[in-house]
Amino acid sequence: MRMRFAALGVLIFAVACSRPPVTDDLRIEFSNTDDVVVVTADTTFEMKPANDVMKHRVDVARAAAIANTDPWAARFSALRPSADSTFMRRDRGVLERVTRSVTIPPDDLQLVFADANITVKTMRGDGWREVSFYPGSSTRASREQLRDFNAELNEWSNAVARYFRAVRELYSYLGRQPHRAKWVFAAILSERGADGAEPLVLEEEQPLVDAVQNAMAEIGDHMDANEGRAATFGEQADLIFNPFPARITVRVPGTVLASDGFSKKEKDLIIEPIDLFQMLQSLEGKWISPDPLAALLRDEGVTASDIAFAERTSTMLVTGADVANEIRSQLERPKSYVVRWRE
């Protein structure tokens, strides 16, 4: 049981460490009084990379920022801003974040995305203004990255399909023995009793529990950040399916009249980068319900009892191709991002 608990711990650790070691955020802020846009790019470097692969990437990106040869320095150098600034934040002498900001006319927004397959349009009407982003196919990934991603996605999807099949077998058993659900799920989640005792699993249940836990651990292996695969795999998905070079936040000064494509957080309109590992959570309920692995990934303190007393359903057959096709469909981006506001 201790080995299985460790395997689940690796899975949670891998998901937590799957964030890219270098992140970019771009803010686009329209002015209410002047016909200008303030564009700010923040590049943040992971101060404690999880492994040598991530550390190398951070070191290279940090050196480029210090030398003023990073991508945002190159993009902003093509502009003629009315104002600009660069701020470097250091922690104990080590560069943690670079913030570059330029003030430009709205019509120059297209130049910010000159190296991306994105069309930017600004419009003005009677009492309103509008900005639109029309992303084309992403050109950010190399052929090698595309090949590696496809191979990894197929392996990972097959592992997820095996997990779904293992859960289906378990749920079939629990359909005949529903009173055993709490004990079985406690074993899967490595949940001990109040006295510290391990859950009692019957002999015929142990292979079912092992199959689910092994399938979960296999998915964790494919997300193992110790080899840098988790971050690489997730970033490849973003490079392949997302033409935007950063997380985009658009801020407008007036009341929003209409918007399309953006996610919203308070007054911000956001174009999020792709988070591949949210895809597994988004599949929750599509083929099996409840989903123990999705519950673990959510990290909401779910208990064995919570899962045991939920209504259980499972699809007859799920293949790796089914999983991969569903993930690809969810990775597709909106065809446009448009916001119109009152001037």
Residue 2 confidence (pLDDT): 39
Give pLDDT tens digits for 153-194: 888 889 889 999 999 999 999 999 999 999 999 998 888 877
Q: Which residue has the higher pLDDT, 6 or 150?
A: 150
Q: What is the pTM of this model?
A: 0.79
Residue 340 confidence (pLDDT): 97
Strand pairing of 247-251 and 22-30? parallel
Give pLDDT tens digits for 131-142: 999 999 999 999
Residue 229 confidence (pLDDT): 56
Classify residue 314 by its DSSP letter: E
What average pLDDT is seen over the chain? 87
- Mean pLDDT over residues 102-106, rounded? 96
264 near 270, Cβ under 8 Å? Answer: yes
Burial tier of 152 (Cβ tally within 10 Å: 0-12, 13-18, 19+): middle
pLDDT above 80 (res 228)? no
Residue 114 confidence (pLDDT): 94
DSSP-H helix ranges across the chain:
2-16, 52-66, 71-77, 109-112, 143-176, 181-188, 206-222, 229-241, 278-282, 292-298, 304-308, 320-331
Residue 42 confidence (pLDDT): 98
Residue 112 pLDDT level (bands cut at 50, 70, 90): very high
Cβ atoms < 10 Å from Cβ of 91 = 10
- Mean pLDDT over residues 267-294, rounded? 82
Residue 76 confidence (pLDDT): 97
Residue 268 pLDDT level (bands cut at 50, 70, 90): very high
Distance separating alpha carbons of residues 119 and 111, to the nearest angstrom? 10
327 near 157, Cβ under 8 Å? Answer: yes
pLDDT above 90 (res 129)? yes
Contacts of 217 (CB under 8 A, 6+ apart): 4, 7, 8, 10, 11
Secondary structure of residue 72 in the 3-state scheme: helix
Largest CA distance in the chain: 75
> What is the 3-class SS of 193-261, one letter each residue?
CCCCCCCCCCCCCHHHHHHHHHHHHHHHHHCCHHHCHHHHHHHHHHHHHCCCCCEEEEECCCCEEEEEC
Q: With pLDDT > 90 as the criterion, what percentage of the chain qualifies?
A: 60
pLDDT above 90 (res 200)? no
Q: How far apart are the first and last CA of the chain?
A: 63
Q: 280: closest CA among 153, 146, 168, 160?
A: 160
- Residue located via tokens 């991969």: 324
Give pLDDT tens digits for 36-67: 999 999 999 999 987 788 899 999 999 999 99
One DSSP character per residue, 95-107 reads EEEEEEEEEE-GG
Residue 295 pLDDT level (bands cut at 50, 70, 90): confident
Lowest mean pLDDT among 63-77, 154-168, 200-214, 273-287: 273-287
